[in-house]
């Protein structure tokens, strides 16, 4: 299958390991990955901070770049949520019904990684190997906007050697929330403290999720505490094989 | 209806819809209160568990939510005619209907009605609308004492405090704090009072029983009003409401104009939704309903004050009007990770939590509550919990687009959007963004990040650089 990668500006710029892992995983499974080079950012930060009119050209750009593809994947539940649930609204609020309809079409063909694997490609065992103690944080937009349910967990359970432990109160928000983390830094930090407490309880070496943004927040907190727990994007775990003896998250390449 | 006119927002200088400081500043103080954090975490976790358990018993919960949502949307679509129908029915049943455009007018009407009875004390059933308009303060200014009879509301009143939750206004207090308030403030209290919940309840009951039996005027809110019959409904759990609604000679009910349902049968849906979503009960313990005046039974004078106070302005916003669907169950507060940590006072309004963050700014005009739409991580838990499916996250995003933005932020966001729309600039910016993990403190407005979080290690190359080299 020919799959267009919607890399997301965050993974492109700060967490390329998650994006590279997405490419390697899909290629290993026998698919062709293409990267539309005109893509930049889906505009979610602008929409969620109250700047819809500034997001409009970004929505237009995104739709233009991805309209030619039948299947689009992103290593982010949040950015897929933005494309699927916000782009048409932004276009409609600007009075551009034609763009709204095209945005809806692109949204329907855009999948978060676990959705693509389980729903479109019909795979739950991607042949990965990852001999580490891992806990999974279900990010809010994956969970409540996209309703990915237990798809990421089904994929993780099939990973060889993984010691997957439940994250207590996992469904509570980690406190990232985009610009919420800056505008309400204290509350964001209080939420993060509880999330980190639960992660520490699991005695996991690795905390994984489907969003580099939440992992940046959780990882930034764990790092500040020198907690000795790494954050690794779901794609990186699923891309890991017995042949590759990479350390968790390929830290040298900048893990999520 | 002439009272509507041009939709006006709730006036300043009266009522409790505006805080004294923006949410982040108020939250900062609340977060430092360890006792508050423990009380809130314990209480919200308990209510969440209880509510979740009884909701899971109903196989048709999602259908009920859909029905509740559809009924509210249909009601809002023809609110003016339904209100007129209600007025006609209440009047025909012997009640008197008053229209209050805002908090000042409502306070004036109620104060005048109480004065006309010649009494100087009223009992009150817990009511969000009267908290919203600051009725107790207005009555006090007129020399009338209002006694709150809901246990938690009484705790708040005796503690010279403000409610911090829609349903459990004293949620920020634990039982030893409550004992201290009772010992300090409750007339005739036993000095040997312990902090056992049954003892605390008994003390309140003794104090209130006397008040119920000797007070001739009561003020209530309303959970629902049925347009086709003119029936008002109050749902409560303690029986205090029933005392207030039946014992006095005069009953004055202050109701927001959005509380209507078209027909008696519509209550079937809401009486199933409300108790399970709010208190985690299968059935509401005390449901009082009355239609006008019944000779020889209950209050012989009934006044209904229909309150606008910004609601028509909310109704005029097609996207925002969903906030008027709220049935004040407070499920969104109980599941909100922000509310659970900051508590209700940080929101500055009687309507705290996620629903408050979308309702208060609309009632006052967004400029007066500009920080509230940002008091959310947009995690979406509130939407899942709402029994009438109010899409609070989308409303928050909608309102963020309406609030006045600080100039520096506007400039930065415009620059970011311009860069993102020009791939050459975007690539250059990516390469310039070599943030160092060792930068422990960033300058404002990014210092909020580095106060508690390290920056990620900058990668050796961006994804698109790597892709280009493949």
What are the tens digits of pLDDT across the range B194-229? 999 999 999 999 999 999 999 999 999 999 999 999
* Alpha carbons within 13 A on the beta-carbon side of A28: 20
pLDDT (mean) for A208-225: 97
pLDDT class of A245 with cuts at 50, 70, 90: low
Tokens coding B238: 């303690």
* Chain B contact probe: residue of A9, A37, A149, A185 with most B CBs at under 10 A: A185
CA dihedral B327, B329, B331, B337 (to 10 degrees): 90
Same structural domain, A158 and A220: yes
The verdict on A143 and A106 lying in the same domain is no
Of A23, A49, A221, the CB nearest to B413: A49
Tens of pLDDT along B79-135?
Answer: 999 999 999 999 999 999 999 999 999 999 999 999 999 999 999 999 999 999 999
Within 10 angstroms of residue B195's Cβ, the number of other Cβ atoms is 14
Superfamily (CATH H level) for B23-311? NagB/RpiA/CoA transferase-like (3.40.50.10420)
Distance CA B44, CA B39 (A): 9
Is the CB of residue A15 less than 8 Å away from at least one CB of chain B?
A: yes
pLDDT score of B55:
98
Residue for token pair 């399970």: B276
Q: Taking the model in full, what pTM does it have?
A: 0.95
Q: Determine the structural domain holding residue A247 and report its residue range.
A: 133-253
Residues B417-427 pLDDT 10s = 999 999 999 99
Round to the nearest angstrom and report the end-to-end CA distance of chain B. Answer: 70
Tell me which residue of B367, B369, B391, B218 sits closest to B319, measured CA to CA.
B391
**How far is residue B55's CA from residue B38's CA, in Å, rounded to a whole number?**
26
What pLDDT was estimated at residue B435? Answer: 57
What CATH number is given to the structural domain containing A20?
Answer: 1.20.1050
In a domain, A173, yes or no: yes
Using CB atoms, pick whichever of B337, B384, B417 lies closest to residue A144: B384
- Out of A35, A93, A186, name the one closest to residue B24 (CB): A186
Most A CBs within 10 Å, among B36, B41, B420, to test the A interface: B420
Residue A205 above 50 pLDDT?
yes
User: What is the maximum alpha-carbon separation in chain A?
Assistant: 53
Q: What is the DSSP-derived secondary structure letter of residue B318?
A: T
Is there a single domain that holds both residue A19 and residue A82? yes
C-alpha torsion B212→B215→B219→B223, nearest 10: 20
Examine residue A244 and state whether it is found in any structural domain, yes or no. Answer: yes
A141 lies in the same domain as A113? no
Same-domain check for residues A216 and A241: yes
H or E element at residue A164 = strand A163-165
How many Cβ atoms sit within 10 Å of the Cβ of residue B294?
13
A94 at the B interface (CB within 8 A)?
no
A126 found inside a domain: no
How many Cβ contacts (< 8 angstroms) between chains A and B?
194
User: A41-74, pLDDT tens digit by residue?
Assistant: 999 999 999 999 999 999 999 999 999 999 999 9
Can you give the residue ranges of every domain in chain B?
Answer: 23-311, 419-469
Q: How many C-beta atoms lie closer than 10 Å to residue B118's C-beta?
A: 8
* B398 phi and psi angles, rounded to 5 deg: -60, -45
- Percent of chain B whose predicted confidence (pLDDT) is above 70: 97
Strand-pairing partners, residue B253, are B220, B304
Q: How many domains does chain A have?
A: 2
DSSP string, A166-192: --TTTTS--S-TTTHHHHTHHHHHHHH
Which of B452, B455, B457 to probe by mutation at the A interface, max A CB count within 10 Å? B452
Considering the domain architecture, whether residues A138 and A249 belong to the same structural domain is answered as yes
| Domain harbouring A178, CATH code | 3.40.50
Q: Are residues A170 and A102 in the same domain?
A: no
Strand partners, B218: B123, B251
Q: Is the same domain home to A53 and A85?
A: yes
Residue where a domain stops, chosen among A76, A99, A120: A120
A55, A104: one domain: yes
Please compute the mean of the pLDDT values over residues A104-109 and round it to a whole number.
Answer: 98
């Amino acid at each position: 299958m020919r799959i267009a990668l919607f890399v997301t500006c965050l993974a492109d710029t700060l967490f390329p390991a998650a994006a590279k892992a997405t490419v390697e995983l899909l290629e290993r499974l026998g698919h062709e990955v293409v990267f539309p080079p005109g893509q930049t950012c889906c505009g979610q930060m602008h929409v969620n901070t109250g700047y819809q009119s500034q997001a409009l050209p970004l929505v237009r750009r995104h739709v233009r770049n991805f309209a030619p593809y039948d299947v689009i994947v992103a290593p982010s539940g949040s950015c897929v949520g933005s494309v699927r649930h916000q782009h048409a609204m932004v276009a409609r609020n600007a009075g551009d019904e034609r763009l709204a309809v095209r945005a809806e079409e692109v949204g329907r063909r855009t999948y978060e990684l676990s959705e693509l694997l389980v729903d479109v490609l019909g795979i739950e065992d991607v042949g990965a190997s990852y001999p580490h103690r891992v806990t999974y944080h279900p990010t809010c937009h994956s969970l409540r906007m996209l309703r990915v349910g237990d798809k990421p967990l089904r994929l993780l359970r099939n990973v060889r050697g993984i010691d997957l432990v439940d994250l207590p109160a996992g469904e509570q928000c980690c406190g990232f929330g985009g610009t919420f983390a800056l505008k309400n830094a204290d509350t964001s930090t209080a939420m993060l403290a509880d999330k980190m407490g639960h992660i520490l309880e699991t005695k996991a070496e690795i905390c994984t999720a489907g969003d580099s943004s939440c992992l940046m927040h959780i990882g930034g907190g764990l790092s500040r505490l020198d907690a000795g727990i790494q954050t690794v994007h779901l794609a990186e775990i699923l891309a890991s094989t017995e042949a590759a003896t990479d350390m968790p998250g390929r830290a040298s390449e900048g893990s999520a | 209806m002439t009272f509507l006119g041009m939709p006006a927002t709730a006036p300043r200088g009266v009522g409790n819809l505006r805080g004294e400081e923006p949410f982040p500043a108020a939250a900062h103080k609340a977060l430092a209160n360890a006792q508050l954090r423990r009380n809130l975490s314990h209480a919200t976790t308990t209510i969440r568990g209880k509510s979740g358990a009884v909701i899971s018993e109903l196989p048709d919960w999602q259908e009920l939510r859909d029905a509740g949502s559809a009924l509210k949307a249909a009601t809002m679509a023809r609110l003016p005619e339904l209100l007129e129908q209600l007025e006609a029915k209440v009047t025909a049943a012997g009640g008197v209907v008053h229209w209050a455009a805002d908090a000042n007018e409502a306070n004036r009407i109620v104060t005048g009605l109480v004065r006309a009875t010649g009494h100087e004390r009223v009992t009150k059933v817990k009511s969000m609308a009267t908290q919203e308009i600051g009725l107790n303060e207005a009555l006090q200014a007129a020399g009338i004492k209002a006694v709150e009879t809901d246990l938690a509301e009484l705790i708040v009143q005796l503690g010279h405090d403000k409610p911090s939750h829609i349903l459990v206004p004293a949620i920020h207090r634990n039982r030893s704090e409550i004992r201290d308030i009772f010992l300090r403030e409750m007339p005739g209290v036993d000095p040997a009072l312990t902090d056992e919940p049954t003892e605390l309840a008994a003390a309140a009951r003794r104090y209130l029983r006397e008040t119920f039996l000797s007070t001739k005027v009561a003020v209530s809110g309303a959970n629902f009003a049925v347009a086709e019959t003119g029936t008002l409904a109050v749902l409560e759990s303690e029986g205090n409401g029933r005392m207030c609604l039946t014992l006095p000679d005069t009953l004055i009910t202050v109701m927001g104009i959005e509380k209507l349902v078209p027909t008696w049968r519509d209550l079937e849906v809401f009486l199933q939704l409300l108790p399970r979503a709010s208190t985690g009960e299968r059935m509401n313990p005390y449901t009082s309903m009355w239609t006008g005046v019944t000779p020889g039974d209950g209050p012989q004078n009934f006044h209904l004050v229909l309150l606008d106070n910004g609601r028509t302005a909310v109704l005029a916003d097609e996207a925002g009007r969903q906030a008027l669907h709220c049935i004040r169950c407070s499920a969104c507060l109980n599941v909100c990770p922000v509310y659970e940590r900051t508590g209700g006072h940080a929101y500055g309004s009687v309507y705290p939590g996620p629903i408050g963050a979308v309702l208060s700014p609309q009632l006052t005009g967004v400029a007066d509550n500009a920080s509230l739409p940002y008091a959310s991580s947009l995690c979406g838990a509130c939407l899942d919990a709402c029994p009438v499916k109010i899409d609070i996250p989308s409303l928050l995003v909608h309102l963020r687009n309406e609030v006045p933005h600080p100039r520096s932020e506007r400039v930065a966001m415009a620059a970011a959007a311009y860069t993102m729309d020009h791939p050459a600039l975007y690539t250059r910016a990516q390469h310039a963004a070599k943030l160092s993990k060792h930068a422990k403190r960033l300058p404002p407005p990014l210092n909020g990040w580095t106060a508690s979080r390290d920056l990620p290690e900058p990668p050796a190359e961006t994804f698109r650089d790597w892709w280009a080299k493949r």
